[in-house]
Amino acid sequence: MHRDGKIFLRPEYGRLDESWPVIAFHKLAVLKRLASDYERGRDVVVRTGTLDKTLTLNPEYRGKLLAAAIIEPKQDIDTEDIVPASSWEDHCRRRGKPRWAHCLPALCLYHIATVKPYPDARELIPSAYRQLDYRTGRLRGSAILVTGKERLRLMKLPVTRVKMTLSEAVANFQATLRQAGLQTYDCPE
């Protein structure tokens, strides 16, 4: 992340990895709001686990800071076209229908905690975290901009890069940007 970059907080039901390498959205308008505010190469999206006991995949993720992602804001794509078929099928089976059908693909992923327990979002960034629904830890809207001392606390967290291979759709989009002479993004270690 650029030293002057923005940090957006987005709650999710699990960690980001090759099985779910996207920031997914229920509504396309919400995706477009984050995409318009986000600058690739400067900003990051930090994922925190929800408090929802029925939907969060792993209890140890509830209310914890899980991962940081550098996303591609210029490519909104169907989630089904990026996540592995088995992950998409599992998502649809658990939810009964595609719930998070729109996404912005992750170009780089970083897990926040290398040892457990994961950092508690309510303790580390209490003002930002209070903007979530207090019962479920879910978000009403696009993403929360983390500022001030809370932003500095997030920047000090240790991260570990998650090795991943971009999906064919994302890799092709990045190649198209390069061919057009536009900047793409290489992930720092």
What mean pLDDT is predicted for residues 145-169? Answer: 93
Asked whether residue 187 is assigned to any structural domain, the reply reads no
Span 180-187, mean pLDDT? 80
Task: Determine, yes or no, domain membership for 138.
Answer: yes
Domains in the chain: how many in total?
1
On whether residue 175 sits in a domain, the answer given is yes
Amino acid at 130: R
Answer whether residue 129 is part of any domain.
yes
Q: What percent of the chain has pLDDT over 90?
A: 42
Q: Taking 80 as the threshold, does the pLDDT of residue 99 lie above it? A: no
The model's pTM is: 0.89
Give a yes or no: residue 185 inside a domain.
no
Beta carbons of 51 and 11 less than 8 angstroms apart: no
The DSSP string of 50-101 is ---TTT-SSGGGTTBEEEEEEE-TT--EEGGGTS-HHHHHHHHHHHSS-SS-
Residue 90 or 44, more confident: 44
pLDDT at position 36, please?
93
119 within domain boundaries:
yes
Residue 153 inside a domain? The answer is yes
CA atoms within 13 A on the CB side of 71: 35
Count CB neighbours of 141 within 10 A.
Answer: 11
Structural domain of 47: 7-179
Three-state SS for 30-45 is HHHHHHHHCCCCCCEE
Q: Is residue 1 part of a domain?
A: no
So what's the pLDDT on residue 173? 92
Provide the pairing of β-strand 65-71 with 102-111. antiparallel
